[in-house]
Amino acid sequence: MNVWLIVGIVSGVISVGAALYLYFWVMRQDAGSERAQEVAGWIREGAASYLKRLYIALTLVAVVLGFIIAIVFSFDLTQLGTGSVDITPTNGVIMAAAFIFGALSSAVAGYMGMAVAVQANVRSAVAVSESLNKGFRVAFYAGAVMGLAMVGLAIIGMCSIFLLTGNPEVILGFSFGASTLALLAKAGGGIYTKTADIAADLVGKIEVGIPEDDPRNPAVVADNVGDNVGDVAGMGADIFDSYVASTVAAMLLGAAMAGPDNLKYTVFPLILCTLGIFASLLGIQFVRVGKDGKPGTALNFGTIITCVIFGVMVIALVLLGGYDMSTLWSTLVGLIVGVVVGFTTEYFTSEDFKPVQETARVSSSGAAITIITGFSYGLLSIFPSIIGIVIATLVSFYISEASGVVSGIYGIGISAVGMLSISGMIVSSDAYGPIVDNARGIAEMAGMDHSVIVKADILDSAGNTAKAITKGFSISAAALTVLALFAAYAEIIEARGISVEISLRSPLVIAGVLLGAMTPPIFSALTMLSVTHNAFDMIEEIRRQFKAEPGILLGTVVPDYKTCVSLAAHGALSSLVIPAFLAVGAPLLVGFVLGPDALGGFLGGAIFTGVIFALLMSNAGGLWDNAKKFIETGQYGGVGSEAHKAGVIGDTVGDPFKDTAGPSLNTLITVMSLVSSLFAPVIAAFHIF
């Protein structure tokens, strides 16, 4: 099997190499006029200053957690009667190293994504003035830098750890590192971006009546920085996290199976990732917009072709490699459900269908009706995704169980990996969105020609649709991942000879489920209250600047962008303390007090409500956003009408739903699952009840 691990590392190196190649390609593009470069420079600086603060905070967290891991895993728990044999003094240091390696890999991928995004935005704006296709390519290839860097670094990390230690539990440490970073990057970025966005809109658009992305607005740079730190770096870290977590979960479930082929199936998830990387590298070549083509179609076509290439590769692998056929079906069902769920998300968030149109229509009766209607459709949007997750779970479980070769839960793990294996392509499409959003902003701020802004708008709108699809995809992928991690949690404990019974007939488990189920809503509340709280501070700063320097509004004085950038960064990072503590501390508290059965219930509860709230918030947010845009196309009175005012309120409510709370929940439940699995042996040994 070692040859596959080496192939995996090679594929990772190729992927990172391709990312670097695209990076330099993007950098060679025309960076435009001095004015455009100046504007892009402000955004770049703001992003860099945020990243610096984030990485300092992260280093602190990583050192503390790494130290705890090193100590905890250095005790020989065998003496405490848990039957554990894996945990020996050496492993403490190895675990801590894997943890830091994971955090570092995710950070590097995120940094590369940001670094290219803040250069590509202005270049895309310049390129789009030449042709739509050129602008599209700059933005998409820049997005691919992050997509490819991410999957490349992930596979290098996982394969090399397994090559060195042969123990998938060490990869859990790597995965936990990546998740910890993702939690900070995603939640922090989400708070940052919406703080700036809401503050800029409320004072700029509503109070003083200047347009979006107007350079007179002191918060405009912070708003554009937010797109990068929230949507590029945050989203990348989020999928990195699910990608690694699903792979390690499937590996652990493979390793837990009895039989001689055990190792073969433990490595299988890594091979799937390797094939997914090659499929993404090929799929990216197919993403092109013709002269009159639509960028949205190009992105979707790229996703579908990647799936097809990947599917063919997996068929070949299973047939030639002598794997059980059930692994093929599990992979494919995961892949298909992921894509189908992604596209059903479009139904609820695209202006071509009833939910958005109906929400726009009722908006003429006022904002309250807009909110109630959009929220209700958001609740309904849970339905197709849950059905998809249920189908993927049941089909992959029973086909695998029936094979007699692999275990049913291994099948669930493989379906999650199947879904996420094309992450390279998914992240590329997704990172495209904020880049073109920024490109539009820069075009506006730098005073480019109106025709450029119109074309940038076309690119931007395709980005929004792509974002809705990848969000649906990433939530359902995360759901399957955590279900696999949940199964792995029980396996890890049972491997220590301790039985786990997560029966809903036990009151301890019920207590665990209730406590777990309330964690995602509370986490959402904390992050959203941070947004409104920080936005309030920034609103005061914007008002202060307008008052202190009347030249700003006249356009004769450049506003103090830096103070707003700094306010957003400081606010976001200091708001993370309690949510981060909740994510890591709550499962440990439940585990050490109520025991491993209750912790199993806790994870289950967190997964169930986490998935539901993530779907609700992401989809309702996307729906309100597009309902407003639909009204802006002239429907129901168009811009300035009562319906539009209501639509703007709906959109603003949706902002922290879809960009702060909703997408952070994926990471929250992954972090909690990983903490639990990682500390499972220790919790099994020490707990009060």
**Site for a copy of itself, residues 406 to 465, rule: CB under 8 A:** 408-409, 412
Residues in region 643-662 near a copy of itself by CB under 8 A? 648-650, 652-653, 656
Smallest separation, CB 511 to a copy of itself (Å): 5
Q: Is 528 in the site for a copy of itself (CB under 8 A)?
A: yes
Closest to a copy of itself by CB, 88 vs 376, is 376
Q: Which of 529, 548, 557, 577 binds a copy of itself (CB under 8 A)?
A: 529
Task: Candidates 37-45, 176-184, 457-465, 611-619: pick the segment binding a copy of itself (CB under 8 A).
Answer: 611-619
Give the shortest CB-572-to-a copy of itself separation in angstroms: 16
Report if residue 600 touches a copy of itself, rule: CB under 8 A.
Answer: yes
Q: Report the nearest approach of a copy of itself to the CB of residue 670 (Å).
A: 17
From the list 67-75, 246-254, 413-421, 535-543, the region that binds a copy of itself by CB under 8 A is 535-543
Q: Contacting a copy of itself (CB under 8 A), which of 393, 438, 575, 635? A: 393
- Interface pick for a copy of itself out of 2, 90, 297, 532 (rule CB under 8 A): 532
C-beta of 99 vs 624, nearer to a copy of itself: 624
The number of beta carbons lying within 10 Å of the beta carbon of residue 164 is 12
Q: Which of 443, 483, 488, 572 binds a copy of itself (CB under 8 A)?
A: 483
Q: Are 442 and 40 in contact (CB under 8 A)?
A: yes
Name the minimum Å distance from CB 300 to a copy of itself. Answer: 27
Q: What is the dihedral of CA 470, 471, 476, 481, to 10 degrees?
A: 90
> Closer CB to a copy of itself, residue 446 or residue 502?
502
- Please tell me whether residue 504 binds a copy of itself under the rule CB under 8 A: yes
Give the whole-angstrom CA distance, residue 216 versus residue 212: 10
Crossing angle, helix 235-255 and helix 262-285, to 10 degrees? Answer: 150
Query: Taking the complex as a whole, how short is the minimal distance between the CB of residue 369 and a copy of itself, in angstroms?
Result: 5
Are the C-beta atoms of residues 514 and 605 closer than 8 Å to each other? yes
How many Cα neighbours within 13 Å face the side chain of 190? 36
Q: Establish if 187 lies at the interface with a copy of itself (CB under 8 A).
A: no
Phi-psi region of 501 (alpha: psi -120 to 50; beta: other; left: phi over 0): beta
Counting residues that bind a copy of itself (by CB under 8 A) gives: 77
Shortest distance, CB of residue 515 to a copy of itself, whole angstroms? 6
| Positions 358 through 377 that interact with a copy of itself (CB under 8 A) | 362, 365-369, 371-373, 375-377
Residue 111 token pair: 């940094």
Cβ atoms of residues 307 and 391 within 8 Å: no
Q: Are 551 and 559 in contact (CB under 8 A)?
A: no
- One of 13, 48, 163, 511 touching a copy of itself (CB under 8 A): 511
Burial class (CB in 10 A: 0-12, 13-18, 19+), 633: exposed
Please report how close the Cβ of residue 231 comes to a copy of itself at its closest, in angstroms.
19
- 577 by DSSP, 3-state: which? helix
- 577 is a site residue for a copy of itself (CB under 8 A): no
Asked if residue 383 binds a copy of itself (CB under 8 A), the reply is yes
Closest distance to a copy of itself from the beta carbon of 361 (Å): 9
Q: Does 508 bind a copy of itself (CB under 8 A)?
A: yes
Region near a copy of itself per CB under 8 A, out of 143-151, 279-287, 509-517, 546-554: 509-517
* Rounded to 5°, angle at Cα 616 from 611 and 619: 115
* x/- letters, 201..230, toward a copy of itself (CB under 8 A): -x---x------------------------
Q: Is residue 98 involved in binding a copy of itself (CB under 8 A)?
A: no
Structure tokens at 186: 């995603």
- Are the CB atoms for 487 and 607 separated by under 8 Å? no
386 binds a copy of itself (CB under 8 A): yes
- Spatial distance between the Cα atoms of 276 and 373, rounded to a whole number of angstroms: 39
Q: How far apart are CB 613 and a copy of itself at their closest, in Å?
A: 9
Q: Which stretch binds a copy of itself (CB under 8 A): 95-103, 434-442, 502-510, 573-581?
A: 502-510
Cβ(4)–Cβ(271) below 8 Å: yes
CB closer to a copy of itself out of 445 and 535? 535
Q: What is the DSSP string of 272-339?
A: HHHHHHHHHHHHHHT----SS--HHHHHHHHHHHHHHHHHHHHHHHHHHHT--HHHHHHHHHHHHHHH
Tell whether residue 627 is a contact of a copy of itself (CB under 8 A): no
Burial class of 81 by CB neighbour count within 10 A (0 to 12, 13 to 18, 19+): exposed
User: How far apart are the two ends of the chain, measured CA to CA in Å?
Assistant: 43
**CA pseudo-torsion sign 434, 136, 465, 453:** positive
Query: What span, in angstroms and rounded, lies between the C-alpha atoms of 182 and 185?
Result: 5
Q: Is 502 in the site for a copy of itself (CB under 8 A)?
A: yes
Residue 329 interacts with a copy of itself (CB under 8 A): yes or no: no
Q: How many residues would you count in the chain?
A: 689
Nearest CB to a copy of itself, comparing residues 68 and 379: 379
Residue 426 or 528 having the CB closest to a copy of itself:
528
Q: How far apart are CA 446 and CA 680, in angstroms?
A: 55
Asked whether position 64 contacts a copy of itself by CB under 8 A, the answer is no
Q: How far is the CB of 672 from a copy of itself (least distance, A)?
A: 15
d(CA 348, CA 619): 7
- Residue placing its CB nearer to a copy of itself in the complex, 94 or 599: 599
Provide the CB-side half-sphere exposure for 236 (13 A, CA). 37
Q: Does 499 bind a copy of itself (CB under 8 A)?
A: no
233 or 528: CB nearest a copy of itself: 528
Closest separation in Å from C-beta 508 to a copy of itself? 7
Shortest approach of a copy of itself to residue 52 CB, angstroms?
A: 29
Task: Judge whether 314 and 48 are in contact, CB under 8 Å.
Answer: no
Closest distance of CB 533 from a copy of itself, Å: 9
CB of 348 to a copy of itself, least distance (A): 11
DSSP labels, 43-85: HHHHHHHHHHHHHHHHHHHHHHHHHHHHHHTTS-GGGGTS---
Q: Of these, 513, 583, 675, 680, which contacts a copy of itself (CB under 8 A)?
A: 513
Query: Rule CB under 8 A: is residue 665 a binding residue for a copy of itself?
Result: no
Enter the tokens of residue 79: 């003496």
Give the separation between CA 41 and CA 35, rounded to whole angstroms: 10
Distances (CA, A) of 672 to 95, 186, 468, 605, 647: 17, 15, 25, 11, 36
Which of 287, 178, 194 has its CA nearest to residue 241? 178
Q: Which is nearer to a copy of itself, 11 or 530 (CB)?
A: 530
